[in-house]
Chains A and B, each alone.
Chain A
């Protein structure tokens, strides 16, 4: 846009009041255009017709009972991490260290499972690893929070660096615990005794993470909207000076909120290790710590809106993954598709926040 206002035909104005339905329409148009572009690109890469692309995507996500469960399970983990990051974002603390917080949570769970096998009954191991995972995640959130609260250290970069420290910590322990020696892998932990494996809910191994994520989502909605803590978080996010003026201890809010955020990420790590994979690798979080940042932002930090947002991402991932497998393409195809969808959604926010008006003569 040029600065010579005289030559401009349009000008922008911030929209104050846009109806919910109009917002929804703008977002749906963006998602629809992204899907069209994705289908065209897929058609170009694979040579199948675009309509068939959608069909394979749906079959990738819901093609069988097992696939449907896995889609739901992926959704529950992504949702859980997104919800976990949300309180920090609401107070404008850019925690992009979800990845590391999940990893240390998983590491703590794996440690309990490996070290306590045959020493304690399974139920106790489960409880201890639950507590350990939460503490580990919380600790990983606490360190950048304390630095931010005391010295105003840049949290975006610090949490980012903490991710890699967590990754190296995991690969350190993977080598210590590797089975067999020299393989560089842990393999399935306690394969025979199942010690420390999380309980199955409702007779299904998928239900635990789904239930936990639903409970946490509801809790977070209530916490952010109807509790004193939630109120303080929002005041800190909106204006630091206001927060100080009304007597909110900003550093306490930052530390408390990051403890919560990290603890919930740690919980996601526990589910990944204790309930889903029963092993730990450096890539067990699979970049979801980063994806969750985008999901949380897409949902405008509303935990319930995160359900459809996370679903969209998981659906694209599994759908594009299926296409990649069927056509012998690289699985990173899914990342490209996710990226395109994100670009459209990120871009469409503009049309929600601003209206373009034609300049009157």
Chain B
């Protein structure tokens, strides 16, 4: 039982970046934009926050840091970085009507390269004499928990042992689910994703909806990168450490059949699957089996993908115009 209890916080820690990415991508896809650039956006969100925190830590010195700027600077930098990526995607696909798959893949190439480049060269570029990017002080602010959490035993460990970004991720997912399902804005957004021509005829500004949902989606996804590096990785940037989590976030969108509220539990489940191999005993003789266990999240995604397409229920389908650009004059 204690083993399982210690498993949950780690699964949640793995799940939160996925949840941010998944919520962001759901909002994006609801407008009909299939943004395959999310993995890149998450890298950019992470490194932008790191750059902000790095310069803040080194300009004021570790002793005189205070909580509000130490949190706000990385968060705002991260949001700004992913905002720019979102604008780039929208400019290319909505305004210039470029192919969404190609634009997304190019953004992933660029974003991952951007993250690894600045992660690997930041110290050299800034001429500071430090061995590695280790923002432990900033990270302490990000992973601070409620002071009484430790005293509450298993309850505190399972529910209260996370930094504020984790709770923000859940709040954002709930808010996104409510807005998409229950409000007029959400209805319009879904209309744009299902049939932009109809939405346009209704007087909905398709361009505005596509831009704002995609950019907002990118900003949310970018926070996933920030959470990973500041909270989960304790402020230590190492290249390629974020790995393929961005793609898993996109897989989660399908797994949850485009429902942000389902995403909360699903991302924790995926987070658990992601680290499950650490908990399945293989013995020293068969370390190779761990590599097979790492396949589980992807296999599960494929199964869900196939099953939903086999059942072919109308409410389980992706937005009808997903991946297609809208050009009014072509109706």
Which residues of A come within 8 Å of B, CB atoms? Answer: 1-3, 12-14, 45, 94, 96, 147, 151-154, 156-158, 160-162, 164-165, 168-169, 171-173, 175-176, 287, 290-291, 293-294, 297, 328-330, 332-336, 338-340, 342-343, 346-347, 349-350, 353-354
Contact = CB atoms under 8 A, between A and B. Distances in A.
Contacts of A347: 91-92, 96, 98
Contacts of B289: 172
Contacts of A329: 117, 120-121, 124
Contacts of B207: 1, 3
B176 to A, nearest CB: 20
A329 B112 CA distance: 15
B305 A342 contact: no
A332 B116 contact: yes
A153 B116 contact: no
19 contacts: A14-B330, A147-B306, A151-B312, A157-B250, A161-B298, A164-B244, A164-B247, A165-B298, A168-B295, A169-B291, A172-B289, A173-B288, A290-B108, A329-B120, A332-B115, A335-B109, A336-B117, A339-B107, A343-B88
Given A96-B105, A332-B120, A339 B113 contact: yes
Contacts, number: 167
Given A168-B295, A330-B116, A346 B99 contact: yes
Contacts of B88: 343
A338 B113 contact: yes
Contacts of A160: 247, 250-251
B102 interface: yes
Given A329-B117, A343-B92, A3 B205 contact: yes
Contact of B298 (A14, A164, A333): A164
A-side interface mostly: helix
Interface residues of B, number: 60
A333 B125 CA distance: 13
A125 to B, nearest CB: 24
Interface of B: 34, 36, 88, 91-92, 95-99, 101-103, 105-117, 119-121, 124-125, 205, 207, 239, 244, 247, 250-251, 254, 287-289, 291-292, 294-295, 298-299, 301-302, 305-306, 309-310, 312, 318, 323, 327, 329-330
A195 B16 CA distance: 48
A147 B308 CA distance: 11
B295 A164 contact: yes
B121 A153 contact: no
A172 B292 CA distance: 6
A168 B291 contact: yes
Nearest to A343: B106
B113 A336 contact: yes
B98 A162 contact: no
B295 A330 contact: no
Contacts of A291: 109
Instruction: Please name the 3 residue pairs, one residue from A and one from B, whose CB atoms are nearest each other, closest first.
Output: A335-B113, A339-B110, A330-B120
B284 to A, nearest CB: 10
A157 B99 CA distance: 16
A80 to B, nearest CB: 19
Highest count of chain B CB atoms <10 Å: which of A2, A12, A96, A347 = A347
A333 B117 contact: yes
Contacts of B36: 96, 156
A165 B303 CA distance: 13
B288 A176 contact: yes
